[in-house]
Amino acid sequence: MANTMTLVDNRNGDKYEYGILSGTRGPDVVDIRSFYKDSGMFTYDPGYTSTASCESKITFIDGEKGELRHRGYAIADLAGKHSYLDVCYLLMRGKLPTPEASKDFDLEIRHRSFLHEGILKIFDAFPSHAHPMATIGSTVMALSTFYKEHLNLKNEVQFKEMRRRIVAKMPTIAAMAYRNSIGVPAIYPDVDKYFTENFLYMMRAYPGGKLKRTIMGNEEIKQVEVDALDAIFTLHADHEQNASTTSVRNIGSTGAHPYVAVSAGIGALWGPAHGGANEKVIDQLKLIGDVANVPSYIAKAKDRNDPFRLMGFGHRVYKNRDPRAESLKGLQDQLREELNLDSKLLDIAAAVEEAALKDDYFKDRGLYPNIDFYSGVILTALKIPVEMFTPIFVIGRTVGWITQWSELVQDPTTKIARPRQLYTGK
């Protein structure tokens, strides 16, 4: 029979037949939803490396080809060519906005960027040294208490408001979390500023008045900085069923408030194996210390008996080049020229990249620079504090999380997430 797969239990000859599902892109999928009922057995797939957990129309990745698409658009045709907010619109609505729709969406996001005054009091309860990721996750969780009575998911207007609200408020929450962590007063959003410029403004400005210098010692915000960070937000916007998105979907499957699900995604993203990886790249570049030391560290990375591992190379999904890294590489070169950067860290990163790309050890294993390798260096060039690297990932990824959550709750076949196990205890 066509479009089926037959599984044979060689212990007793029992046969089980299952349908094969085909998507518009990517590998076919064996539909084994009835496998336990049919056979009394579970499948075993730690890390879900061969398991499709859902059907989705949002983002597609082909790791072998190094391909990433949002709603059919290649990431190279979006990052730096469309604003981050236009990409948000694309993810949530399924199409790029018209110029008029783009303007209206931008205006709405600007006015939704303010936080309820009650939320601001929450920041006062956190110690001034709290890591911004902890503060952001807690504050997003608290949002569910402020908007619970105004959320009817069967009401299309309220459904759209819920999604746009969390996208609009995340930069404000992140900026205030940072300022709280260094003990300086919060800065309110400025509706005259675009999404990304507004975030940089809330991060940097002195309270009261518009000064030439900022709390970070930088000059006024440059357009090249806004464009660079906007592209970074776009490159982080969604990445299919990764650990944090899967967390959002799993929590969403229980019927929990969407902002609670997003808070779970923030917690998952914080891990150094996920969103925190770009911080580790910077730590490692500082450890290397000088361009002259690069060859010895490359040798350490190739030595199986040495615990040293080169951070920012290779990817769980991409077995070829990471398409997001390709975009960031061009952005890094542009920033170096336009901002007249001559950073020792950039020099070390360039030397590491050149050495690894020439080495057969890395090429044979498909260990190319990933998004974390470049994003950390670029954010450093933009004078973003290291503790804000992952929060910037959060800002960019929020639209992906809430779009994935939306798809989940609107899917009539959705069931509560409930993996099984291979029990080996007493």
Domain count, the chain: 3
The pLDDT value given to residue 215: 52
Residue 416 in any domain: the answer is: no
Q: Within this chain, do residues 94 and 227 fall inside the same structural domain, yes or no?
A: yes
Candidates 408, 395, 145, 413; CA nearest to 257 is: 145
Our answer to whether residue 333 is catalytic in this structure is: no
Q: Which residue blocks in 289-388 are alpha helix, DSSP H?
A: 294-302, 323-338, 344-358, 360-364, 371-381
Amino acid (one-letter) located at 120? L
pLDDT at residue number 33: 93
- Give the pairing type, strands 73-74 and 67-70: antiparallel
Task: For residues 14 and 109, state if they share a domain.
Answer: no
Residue 10: per-residue pLDDT: 96
Does 417 map to a domain?
Answer: no
Does the residue 420 lie in any domain? no
Annotated active-site residue 315? The verdict is yes
On whether both 90 and 176 belong to a single domain, the answer is yes
CA distances from 103 to 41, 108, 159, 192 (A): 54, 9, 20, 13
> Are 296 and 215 in the same domain?
no
**313 and 172, same structural domain?**
no
| C-alpha span between 264 and 278 (Å, rounded) | 20
Radius of gyration over alpha carbons of the chain, in Å?
A: 23
Specify the pLDDT at position 274. Answer: 80
Q: How many Å is the maximal CA-CA distance in the chain?
A: 80
| Domain co-membership, 48 together with 196 | no
Q: What is residue 211's predicted lDDT score, i.e. its pLDDT?
A: 46
Q: Residue 294 belongs to a domain with what CATH number?
A: 1.10.230.10
The reply to whether 194 and 240 lie within a common domain is yes
Residue spans of the chain under pLDDT 50: 211-212
Closest to 113 measured CA to CA, from 160, 173, 61 = 173
Q: Give the domain extent around 39.
A: 4-52
57 domain-assigned? no
State both tokens at 89. Answer: 């619109």
Q: Does one domain contain both 265 and 298?
A: no
426 within some domain: no
The H or E element that residue 190 is part of is: none
Domain match, 82 and 41 both? no
- What's the angle, vertex CA 143, arms to CA 142 and CA 149, rounded to 5? 115
Q: What are the pLDDT digits (tens) for 82-130?
A: 999 999 999 999 999 999 999 999 999 999 999 999 999 999 899 888 8
CATH number at residue 160: 1.10.580.10
Residue 363 is assigned to a structural domain of this protein:
yes
- The pLDDT of residue 354: 87
In a domain, 418, yes or no: no
In a domain, 423, yes or no: no
Question: Which of 86, 227, 322, 372 is flagged as catalytic?
Answer: 372
Secondary structure letter of residue 296 according to DSSP:
H
Contact yes or no for 399/338 (Cβ under 8 A): no
- 220, 290: one domain: no
> Taking phi first (over 0 means left), then psi (-120 to 50 degrees means alpha), and beta for anything else, what does residue 26 get?
left
* Annotated active-site residue in 70, 82, 236, 315: 315
Q: Which residues pair with 7 in a beta bridge?
A: 16
Q: DSSP string of 80-136?
A: TTB-HHHHHHHHHHSSPPPHHHHHHHHHHHHHT-PPPHHHHHHHHHS-TT--HHHHH
pTM for the model: 0.90
Q: Is 29 helix (H, G, I), strand (E, B) or coil?
A: strand
Q: Which residues contact 33 (CB under 8 A, 6 or more apart)?
A: none
One-letter amino acid of 345: L
Same-domain status, 46 and 111: no
**319 phi, psi to nearest 5 deg:** -105, 0
pLDDT digits (tens, 9 = 90+) for 390-421: 999 999 999 999 999 999 999 999 999 999 99
Question: In terms of domains, do 178 and 317 share one?
Answer: no
**Whose CA is closest to 234, among 60, 49, 74?**
74
